[in-house]
Amino acid sequence: MAKLRGRGYASVNYPTGMNLGGDPSQALIHATTTGTFVVSLSSVDLGQGLKTVVAQCAAETLGLPMENILVDTADTDTGPHCMGTFASRGTHRVGNAVIMAAAEAREVMLAVAAEELEVDAGDLETDGTGYIQVKGAEEKRVHITDLALAAHFTHGRTISGRGIFLKEKNDPVPETGEMDPDSCQAHACTVAVVEVDDETGVVEVLEMHNAYEIGRALNPAMVAQQVEGGAWMGMSHALFESTEPYYPTRDHGPGDFNEYLMPGPADIPMYHNAILERPAGNGPFGAKGIGEMTANAPIPAIANAIFDACGVRLDTMPFTPERVLRGLDELRGNHH
């Protein structure tokens, strides 16, 4: 009886967005009287960080600090249309729409600043701290708060912009089946290191190495959260979670969350993350989607690691001690 160690690999590529009947999202942006830019969306942030990434895209495009951006994920009645938060499409679709809206608003902002400073709009730049200034003559400048007030009360201008990103519908070629269903693909590889107790059948994940190629990491800290949170979910699917352990019979199914198993703090392995950036030509600043794929590769990586450790090939989740022991019995020729 021993604890057997194994290592398993799995790689995945994952599409950003879907085909649908075309896949659009819209964004609107406008400046308040005091220079806060409100980004209006009906896109939903489920906790994945869309509001932060959208604010970054708007701030970067406008040339203003993040503090000047307010993201309003209104609702589907009042916000501009969005297909929804699914298909790892949020950053790509909404980011592109926000960049388009912010670029239009920036043009108006610079045009009003040109009137206010009595210069040509082409001679103006933003300094990233809230000032619009003349290139090469930085002392000739106006702050966004003063500019927004002047736009409203002196010039009668609305500093605003509209944006939409559309992935156009694509139909398959009947003869070959070829089509263009998504916008770009992200790639990942997980290496799982496990220990299998051949007496109890318990599998422990010791380490997970995750490498992700995601175009560009717009927010590296949130990318790490996605990767590690997704790896946790993948491990949870692989080893613990089941609503129907003896499907199709209903025996021993969990009745509540006390009985529904998930990994606790002691089950979390060491994570090692690597982010590779190969910008997508059609992504916002090159970004691809990373939401859903993070739960995928860990599952087959763990299955391969179990096989490497003890020779048992499992293809039904979760990989419970019972299934491991039954597999070991078969290998030893003990058919009970």
Q: Which residues carry out catalysis?
A: 292
Phi, psi angle pair for 216, to nearest 5°:
-150, 135
SS3 40: strand
| Strand duo 185-197 + 203-213: pairing | antiparallel
Partners of 193 in beta bridges: 7, 207
Contact of 113 with 148, CB cutoff 8 Å: no
Amino acid at 133: Q
Tokens 């790892």 identify what position?
Answer: 88
Closest to 186 in 3D by CA, of 61, 255, 92: 92
SS3 327: helix
Q: 163 to each of 58, 84, 172, 266, how far by Cα in Å? A: 11, 16, 28, 46
The DSSP output letter for 172 is: P
Partners of 39 in beta bridges: 29, 71
Q: 217 to each of 66, 95, 167, 238, how far by Cα in Å? A: 17, 13, 21, 27
Report how far residue 268's alpha carbon sits from residue 307's, in angstroms, rounded to the nearest whole number: 21
SS3 107: helix
Partners of 212 in beta bridges: 188, 275
